[in-house]
Amino acid sequence: MKDTTMPANQQILLDNRPVGEAVASNFKLVTAETPPLQDGQVLVRHHFLSLDPYMRGRMNDAKSYAQPQPLGQTMQGGTVGEVVESRHPKYAVGDKVVGMGGWQEYSVVDGNLMGAMRKVDTTHVPLSAYLGAVGMPGVTAWYGLVKIIAPQAGQTMVVSAATGAVGSAFAALSKARGCRTVGIAGGSDKCKYAVEELGFDACIDYKLHSTAGSLSKALREVCPAGIDGYFENVGGLVLDAVLPLMNAFGRIAVCGMIAGYDGAPVPLTYPALILMQRLKVEGFIVSEHMEVWPEALTELGTLVATGKLRPRESIAQGLAAAPEAFLGLLKGKNFGKQLVKLI
Q: What is the DSSP string of 87-121?
A: -STT--TT-EEEE---SBSEEEEETTSTTSEEE--
Fold for 136-287, please state it: Rossmann fold (3.40.50)
Report the alpha-carbon angle 56-228-249, nearest 5. 105
**Beta pairing, strands 41-50 & 96-99:** unpaired
What is the residue-wise DSSP string for 170-205?
A: HHHHHHHTT-EEEEEESSHHHHHHHHHTS--SEEEE
Per-residue pLDDT 10s for the chain (343 aa) are: 445 678 999 999 999 999 989 999 999 999 999 999 999 999 999 999 999 988 998 998 876 667 889 999 999 999 999 999 999 999 999 999 999 999 999 999 999 998 889 999 999 999 999 999 999 999 999 999 999 999 999 999 999 999 999 999 999 999 999 999 999 999 999 999 999 999 999 999 999 999 999 999 999 999 999 999 999 998 899 999 999 999 999 999 999 887 776 667 888 999 999 999 999 999 999 989 999 999 999 999 999 999 999 889 999 999 999 999 999 999 989 999 999 999 9
Q: Using CA atoms, how far apart are residues 223 and 206, in angstroms rounded to an integer?
A: 15
Architecture of the domain spanning 8-130+312-341:
Alpha-Beta Complex (3.90)
Q: Where are the domains of the chain?
A: 8-130+312-341, 136-287
The pLDDT assigned to 17 comes to: 95
φ and ψ at residue 304, rounded to 5 degrees: -70, -45
Q: What is the pTM of this model?
A: 0.90
Q: What integer pLDDT is reported at residue 306 of this predicted model? A: 93
Picking from 275, 158, 164, the residue whose alpha carbon sits closest to that of residue 216 is 158
> Taking a C-beta distance cutoff of 8 angstroms, is the pair 326, 55 a contact?
yes
Beta strands in 216-263 (DSSP E): 227-232, 246-254
Q: Are the CB atoms for 131 and 50 separated by under 8 Å? A: yes
Give Cβ neighbours of residue 87 (< 8 Å, ≥ 6 apart): 1, 37, 38, 39, 40, 41, 42
